[in-house]
Amino acid sequence: MSESILFRPLSIRGVTIRNRIWVAPMCQYSAEACDGMTTDWHLVHLGSFGQGGAGLVITEATAVSPEGRISPQDLGIWNDEQTQAFRRITDFLHGQGATTGIQLAHAGRKASTYRPWAPERGTVPMDAGGWPTVAPSPIAFPGYATPGELDTAAIDGVVDDFVAAALRSIDAGFDVLEIHAAHGYLIHQFLSPLSNERTDEYGGSLENRARLLLRIVGETRAAVGEDVPLLVRFSATDWVDDGWNEEQTATVAAWAKDGGADVFDISSGGNMTGVTIPVSPGYQVPLAEYVAANGDVPVSAVGLITTAAQAAEIVDEGRADAVMLGREMLRDPHFALRAAHELGVTVDYWPAQYERSAWPA
Q: Which residues are catalytic?
A: 185
In whole angstroms, give the CA distance from residue 141 to residue 93: 36
The sign one gets for the Cα dihedral 295, 270, 99, 334 is negative
Instruction: For residue 316, report the phi and psi dihedrals to the nearest 5 degrees.
Output: -65, -30
> What single DSSP character describes residue 278?
-
In whole angstroms, give the CA distance from residue 179 to residue 246: 18
Instruction: For residue 54, report the phi and psi dihedrals to the nearest 5 degrees.
Output: -60, 150
In whole angstroms, give the CA distance from residue 72 to residue 124: 9
For residue 101, give the H/E element and its range: strand 99-105
Q: Which residues contact 310 (CB under 8 A, 6 or more apart)?
A: 281, 282
Hey, what long-range contacts does 292-295 have (CB within 8 A, 24 or more apart)? 292/264, 292/320, 292/321, 293/250, 294/246, 294/247, 294/250, 294/251, 295/249, 295/250, 295/251, 295/253, 295/254, 295/257, 295/264
Bridge partners of 123, per DSSP, are 113
In whole angstroms, give the CA distance from residue 281 to residue 319: 14
3-state secondary structure of 27: coil
In whole angstroms, give the CA distance from residue 112 to residue 273: 18
225: amino acid identity, one letter = G
Q: What is the DSSP string of 136-185?
A: SSS-PPTTSPPPEEP-HHHHHHHHHHHHHHHHHHHHTT-SEEEEEE-TTS
3-state secondary structure of 316: helix
